[in-house]
Chain A
Amino acid sequence: MTTKARAHLRKAGMLASIAAAALIGLAPMAASSADAVKLNFWDMIWGPPEYIDAAKELVGEFNKQHPEIQVEYRSVPWNNWYQTFVTAISSGTAPDISTGAGYQAVQLYDQGAIRPIDDVIAELKADGELDDFLPNTVDTLRYDDHYVALPWGIDIRVWFYRKDLLEQAGVKVPTTWEELRAAAKATTKDGKYGIVASGDTGGSHFLYNAILNNGGGLFTADRKLDLKNDRNMEAFEALAAMVADGSVSPASTGYNSDDRRAAFNRGQAAFTLDGPGLIAQAGAEAKNIGVLPPLAGPHGDKATIFWVNNIMVYEQTKHPDEVKTFLKWWSKNQLPLWTKGNTGQLPTRKSIAADKAIKDDVARAYVLDNYVPIGKTTATNASGIFPALNDVEGEGAMQSFAQELWQGKPVGPIVDTAETRLKSILKE
């Protein structure tokens, strides 16, 4: 053999032994990663950009503590979210587990895509952990005699007010609807308005808040539409009266929630309805913003709209046991989502709610103590949540309703149009 050939051979031999050593060295890692179960976790964007970082970090924590289960995190934008999930499910690429808005689980469950978590609930009960959840949250997510999702966060609507504008107008903090109407009128001057609303989904929340606050509801006990009952109409008329007073900013129809919040934060309106994260995200203006106490309606009722946001398991998952482990762990260890992620949601677990970080946020603690107990879902008066709620809230009928209301149109025709459209959506 020539020297060149021998050199070649030696080189090849060296390479081969390096490769072999590498393979052997990597083998345990390879074996363990081959054994590790991979899960896909899709999480909606529940807060400002740091939320995504905090969530990813938390997932990393889990992965470290559970080397045999590796979770991959994906952040899902709210834009066209329903389309995202439906296209994934219909093509067999659904995630193993995801978070989602209040009625996502029940709607997808009805279409055969969600795996009920009755077993998880049973296990939590046996461990004594079920009591850690705030009352009424776990049972809200029951449908068809199954638990379709675990509560992970609460979104709720409360009235906020600008302390500086109320002071300037010499108005005290309202506690009833009458007082709100008067206060809104009194603060409408100098190019500012009493109330700023919006024409998007956030604007439709004004409607739900008003209906529920007055003891009304959208449905009868057997889930039929009940839009025109007395309490509802009273609520609509009350809102329309404030519009007629001129207290509601005319730009509201065309606003989305960003615009609405921006106008409120700039001090262009005295009152608005929003979620608990408003103050924290107001930056420098936070000191000028306060939370109204729950308002009493004409009949003395106090209530507001809330959603128990879901974390749900998909039927297509191939590793139901591992998913359960992750689900329970995530639910228990979520605190960093608040402390580092600044999510705008309220916690559903008492242990997290009792944490100093949450308690120190005065506004949020106030909402937790005073509003959450009186929170009701869109399904109110019907027996539990059901799939069509997502369509009712998302199709656009209620948004159009709000838009026309802010435009100052008379309540009668608006309600008729909405009723026709909602009946069509509910396929009645």
Chain B
Amino acid sequence: MAYPATSTARRWSLFWLLVAITLVVNLPIILMVMNSFQTTEQLVSRTSILPHDLTLANYRYLNDRTSFWQFLWNSFTVSGVSTVTSAAIAALAGYALSRFRGRLVTGYSRALFVVQMFPIILALIPLFILFRTLGLINSPLSVIILYTVVHLPFATWMARAFFDTIPRELEDAALVDGCSRFGAFVRIVLPLSGPGLAAIGIFSFLFSYNEFFVANVFLKDQSTMTLPVGITMFMQQYSTDWGSLMAAATLTVVPTFILFLGIQKWITYGAVSGGVKG
């Protein structure tokens, strides 16, 4: 809870302080948005900081002549599916870590760390060959699987710590009533996990949505590319289409921004702080 009973003057001075900080911190992003309203020629030849002669040309170009919406759709699908899968698997595993002890559980917990630390570049070629034998090259499924696994450690830790905050007495009561262990999980614990699962989902979605390196390797076809990779299409061998790049970048950020605005209330104590208690 916040410090109680602050004076109005104090509240508003803090407000303006935050406004200033927010503006300064977000300067690169504000610039990017402003630049998106200028064409590439204007950007390249301009010497002033603030743009003038704003135009919607870039946005129109994105809409008419590129596969931007296809990229956006791909990004959403890939991130969405991997988030749901990751959250589901992490919930199961997190519950196991929270409620059980033993060699399997401890071993698994340690393995999670190794997965988290693993530099993905090492896995590039073997994974590519593996996915080829499975016929998954250029299929979004390859990237979905990778994202699910790579985000698993973090999601599992969050889930585990969140379940830690749910008192066992509730499940014990259900067990006494004749419920099975798993049944207790599904019927008692899961319904209480809304905020926790939401937080896991949000973080997972964000990581997947913004991810560039893996998507760049495994999704090469224009019909399956995600946004971060699609944006690189604006970069030629020795020059860049700045206007379109900035416009595409701005549009890329809008969905996640709105998403966060909508659910920021849910990212509360129960969800996050529990998640990182480790």
Contacts and interface: CB of A to CB of B under 8 A. Distances in A.
A91 B216 contact: no
Interface size class of B (residues with CB under 8 A): 20 to 34
Contacts of A111: none
Contacts of A37: none
B233 A275 contact: no
Contacts of A46: 236-237
B231 to A, nearest CB: 10
A92 B129 CA distance: 8
B44 A45 contact: no
Interface stretch (B17-25, B68-76, B194-202, B239-247): B239-247
Interface string A3-16: 00000000000000
Given A87-B125, A91-B131, A75 B222 contact: yes
Interface in B119-153: 124-125, 128-129, 131-132, 137-138
Contacts of B137: 91, 93
A34 B41 CA distance: 47
Interface in B29-49: 41, 44-47
B221 interface: yes
Given A91-B132, A258-B239, A266-B45, A74 B233 contact: no
A192 B133 CA distance: 57
Interface of A: 44-49, 53, 74-80, 83-84, 87-88, 90-93, 101, 201-202, 257-258, 261-262, 265-266, 274-275, 281, 283-285, 344
Interface in B219-278: 220-222, 229, 232-242, 244
A92 B241 contact: no
A78 B237 contact: yes
Contacts of A258: 238-240, 242
B217 interface: yes
B140 to A, nearest CB: 16
Contacts of B238: 201-202, 257-258, 261, 274-275, 344
B65 interface: yes
Kindly list the 8 A-B residue pairs having the minimum CB-CB distance in the complex, ordered from nearest: A91-B132, A283-B41, A79-B232, A257-B238, A78-B237, A262-B44, A91-B128, A77-B232
A147 B217 CA distance: 30
Nearest to A258: B240
20 contacts: A45-B233, A45-B237, A49-B66, A49-B241, A74-B222, A77-B229, A79-B216, A87-B217, A90-B125, A91-B137, A92-B132, A93-B138, A101-B237, A258-B240, A261-B238, A261-B239, A265-B45, A266-B45, A283-B44, A284-B41
Given A45-B233, A87-B124, A283 B239 contact: no
A88 B235 CA distance: 21
Given A49-B244, A83-B217, A91-B129, A281 B239 contact: yes
Given A45-B233, A93-B137, A283-B41, A87 B128 contact: yes
B236 A48 contact: yes
Contacts of B131: 91
A84 B125 CA distance: 11
A283 B65 CA distance: 20
A76 B220 contact: yes
A241 B65 CA distance: 47
Nearest to B242: A258
A178 to B, nearest CB: 29
Contacts of B233: 45, 75, 77
Nearest to A155: B237
A49 B39 CA distance: 13
A87 B219 CA distance: 12
Contacts of A93: 132, 137-138
A284 B39 CA distance: 13
A115 to B, nearest CB: 20
Given A74-B220, A257-B239, A274-B238, 4 more contacts: A45-B236, A78-B235, A84-B217, A93-B137
B86 to A, nearest CB: 25
A398 to B, nearest CB: 15
Contacts of B221: 74
A47 B236 contact: yes
A258 B128 CA distance: 33
B38 to A, nearest CB: 13
A274 B236 CA distance: 14
A285 B125 CA distance: 46
Contacts of A91: 128-129, 131-132, 137
B236 A265 contact: no
Contacts of A266: 44-47
A80 B216 contact: yes
B49 to A, nearest CB: 14
A252 B216 CA distance: 29
A49 B64 CA distance: 12
Nearest to A201: B238
Contact of A79 (B65, B132, B235, B241): B235
